[in-house]
Amino acid sequence: MLDIYTLGEDILRDECSDVKEFGDEIKMLSDAMIDTLDEADGVGLAGPQVGVPEKIFVVHIRGEEPMVFINPMITETSIETGVYEEGCLSIPGVYHDVVRPLAVTIQAQDVKGKVFTLKADGLLARVIQHENDHLHGKLYIDHLDEKEREKVVKAYEKKNRIRRRTKARV
């Protein structure tokens, strides 16, 4: 299990670097990220969220095989956009509607370094865009206008304070 970094940690704002070696290490990291993602009951997790500022993210939609994207690049986005309520394991407990393109094409490498291209729509397209943002230091709240963003951050901070207080008591 890997620790998940949360809002306020600088690493979440870093531009990630390319993964250059495709050996045991990257395979172990991706396996650990999938385990951490499943344990946290999320659908996507990116390198910087577990303290690794490298271009890797994992997606696991329930009922489907987990997927690993390394050095990804979104090469095409649909003109059509949609609204979906997003959350983030790095901003736990709060959610907000985010507008994004409904479909994307992504090119990435797998754990062995093999390049693949994937066309995605629905939830997968949504998660891919959210996770890909993480690799460029961007969070879903950055897609909101200032007022909405402040509301989400305040709600998160309030929840976080309560959680800390509860922890301190036991």
Q: What is the 3-class SS of the chain, one letter each residue?
A: CCCCCCCCCHHHHCCCECCCCCCHHHHHHHHHHHHHHHHCCCCEEEHHHHCCCECEEEECCCCCCCEEEEEEEEEEECCCEEEEEECCCCCCCCCEEEEEECEEEEEEECCCCCEEEEEEEHHHHHHHHHHHHHCCCCCHHHHCCHHHHHHHHHHHHHHHHHHHHHHHHC
Q: Which residue, judged by CB position, is nearest to Ni ion in the bound state?
A: 88
With respect to Ni ion, which residue has the nearer C-beta, 22 or 74? 74
> How many chain residues are in contact with Ni ion, going by CB under 5 A?
1
Closest approach, Cβ 149 to Ni ion, in A, equals 15
131 among known catalytic residues: yes
With respect to Ni ion, which residue has the nearer C-beta, 88 or 144? 88
With respect to Ni ion, which residue has the nearer C-beta, 113 or 149? 149
Interacting positions 44-103 with Ni ion (CB under 5 A): 88
Closest approach, Cβ 130 to Ni ion, in A, equals 6
Q: Distance (Å, rounded) from C-alpha 54 to C-alpha 115?
A: 17
Site for Ni ion contains 124 (CB under 5 A)? no
Among 65, 86, 131, 146, the active-site one is: 131
Closest approach, Cβ 91 to Ni ion, in A, equals 7
Site for Ni ion contains 135 (CB under 5 A)? no
Closest approach, Cβ 134 to Ni ion, in A, equals 6
By the criterion CB under 5 A, which residues form the site for Ni ion?
A: 88
